[in-house]
Amino acid sequence: MGKELKTNAMRILDRNKIPYEIIQYECDTFIDGVHTAEKTGAPVAQSFKTLVMRGKSGQHYVFVIPVAAEVDLKAAARAAGEKSIEMLPVKDITAVTGYVRGGCSPLGMKKQFPAIVQETAASYDKIYISGGRIGTSITVAPDALLSVIHGVYADVIRHDAPAP
């Protein structure tokens, strides 16, 4: 077997000398983050998904939130400094980010978009995020991730949403 194929996300972490672990799992199509965490044995509370949103201004933003949570659109708009914000349609994900749904990492998108990480991530020594392709997750220290994506912490999740 040949050398492990690195994703853009891994190359960026390597270039910035940020330690990470790779977790591979069998998966051919999109599965949600909760099922990914269960499949890999990762704690659901420490597993984060990447959402790409578009503000009223037309600017794109990256949100990194817990896999079991829902984004609070008003809080997300406030954190981004926008009047309103909406999810990027699934059909536009690859064109905007270079990634496919289910393999979208906050690292290594086509362009560096403003990034907001749910503030609860800061309470963990490591979080689980997409490694940049379906079937690959990586663990990384949240502060290290924040520094590389030039992000900020903010509370951007719904607290009234029913638990899955």
Residue 10 lies in a domain: no
Q: Which domain holds residue 90?
A: 21-154
CA-to-CA distance for 61 and 79, rounded, in angstroms?
10
Picking from 26, 2, 53, 20, the residue whose alpha carbon sits closest to that of residue 145 is: 20
Q: Which two tokens stand for residue 21?
A: 């672990």
Residue 11 lies in a domain: no
Q: What is the pLDDT of residue 71?
A: 95
Q: How many domains does the chain have?
A: 1
Residue 87 lies in a domain: yes
Residue 133 lies in a domain: yes
Q: Domain with 108 in it: what CATH number? A: 3.90.960.10
- Residue 137 pLDDT grade (very low, low, confident, very high; cuts 50, 70, 90): confident
Picking from 25, 44, 88, 82, the residue whose alpha carbon sits closest to that of residue 62 is: 88
Mean pLDDT (whole number) for 11-19? 95
Residue 13 lies in a domain: no
Contacts of 33 (CB under 8 A, 6+ apart): 47, 48, 49, 67, 68
- Residue 31 pLDDT grade (very low, low, confident, very high; cuts 50, 70, 90): low
Residue 15 lies in a domain: no
Residue 8 to residues 107, 131, 164, Cα–Cα distance (Å)? 7, 9, 31
Strand order, beta sheet including 136-140: 21-24, 136-140, 127-133
Mean pLDDT (whole number) for 47-55? 93
Contact 96, 60 (CB under 8 A): yes
Neighbours of 51 (CB within 10 A): 20
Residue 135 lies in a domain: yes
- Residue 103 pLDDT grade (very low, low, confident, very high; cuts 50, 70, 90): confident
Contacts of 98 (CB under 8 A, 6+ apart): 8, 108, 109, 110
Picking from 12, 28, 29, the residue whose alpha carbon sits closest to that of residue 20 is: 12
Kindly tell me if the per-residue pLDDT of 2 is higher than 50.
Answer: no
pLDDT tens string 56-94: 999 999 999 998 899 999 999 999 999 999 999 989 999
Residue 14 lies in a domain: no
